[in-house]
Structure 1
Amino acid sequence: MTSPDLQQRLQDLDTFIQNLMTCESRPVVGLTVSVVKDGQTIFAKGYGQRDLQTGQAVDNRTLFGVGSISKSFTSALLAVILGEREDVSWDTVLTDILGPSFRFRDRFRTEEATIRGLLAHKIALENPWYVAVIMGQDIDRS
C-alpha cells in the first residue's frame, strides 16, 4: 500500500509524462515507466505509440529493444565498481578480471581487450557484413 503523499507524487509523475509527450509537434515513439519501491511495483504505465505507422499504443507490458542504450547502464555500473576497487581500472585487461580461462577467438583480442575497449567497440567486429553496413558500403543480401 502506498501513502497518500506517494500516490500524489505518482499522479504528478503521470501528469508530467503526459504533458511531456505532447510537447513535440510530431508523433514520438512511446515509453514505459515503472516505479519499484521495496521490491514491489507501485506504478507501471505505458505512454504514446509503439508503432507510429499503425498507431498501436504502448502499455505497461510493451517490450522495447534496448540496443546500445544498455551500454550506458553497463558503464554506469562499471564506474561505481571501479570507484570502489583499486585493483581494476578502465584499462585493465579482461583476462586479469575474468581469469586466464576467458578467451576470445584470437590471441590478440584475448590479450589486449579492456573494459574501455569493450565499451568503445575497439575490440573489432567479427561479422564482416556488419562492418560493411556500418561503413555505408553498398552491399546486397548475397
Structure 2
Amino acid sequence: MKRSKSSIIQLNQTEYPETMAIWHETGFIPPAEYANLVEFLHQMNMYEDNHPIDILKGMSGRSGFSANASGCASCIITDREKMYGYAEKCGISRDNKSDSVIAEEICLLIIADYEPEVSGHSFNNKMLYDRLPDRAEIIP
C-alpha cells in the first residue's frame, strides 16, 4: 500500500518527547493518529497538573492529529523481527495475520496500558490490558 508523504510521520524528540522510545521498541511506526493518542495518554498519566485541553492544544498542529483513526494499515514496519518479538512478549499470535493487524494489536495493547482502573478492572479492553507484559520485560 502506497502512502502519501503527508501521512508519513517522523518520530522525533520534539513532537513525541515521552513516547518516541515505545515505537522504536515495537519495530514499527504507527499512523499519526495512534502515535498522537499514545503521547496524549502518556502525558495525561504522567503530568496530572496538565489539563487535557492544554495538552490537546499543544498537539493540535501535528500531522494526523484527528479523530478518524484508520487502523494500522498505513504503519511503517521498521524492523519486522523486532515487531514479531514484541508481539510474542505481549501474547499476540502471528497466526495468518498481516503485519498491519499485528501492529494494530500492539497499538491497542499500548493504549490499553493507559486505561484507568476501577476496583482493579479497567473500563474496557480488560483482556488486552491483562496480556500486556511488564515494560521491564520488553525494554532492556
**TM-score grouping bracket, smaller chain normalisation:** under 0.3
Larger Rg: 1
What TM-score, normalized by structure 1, do the two folds share? 0.21
| Higher fraction of strand | 1
Give 1 or 2: higher helix fraction: 2
Higher RCO, 1 or 2 (CA under 8 Å, sep at least 6)? 2
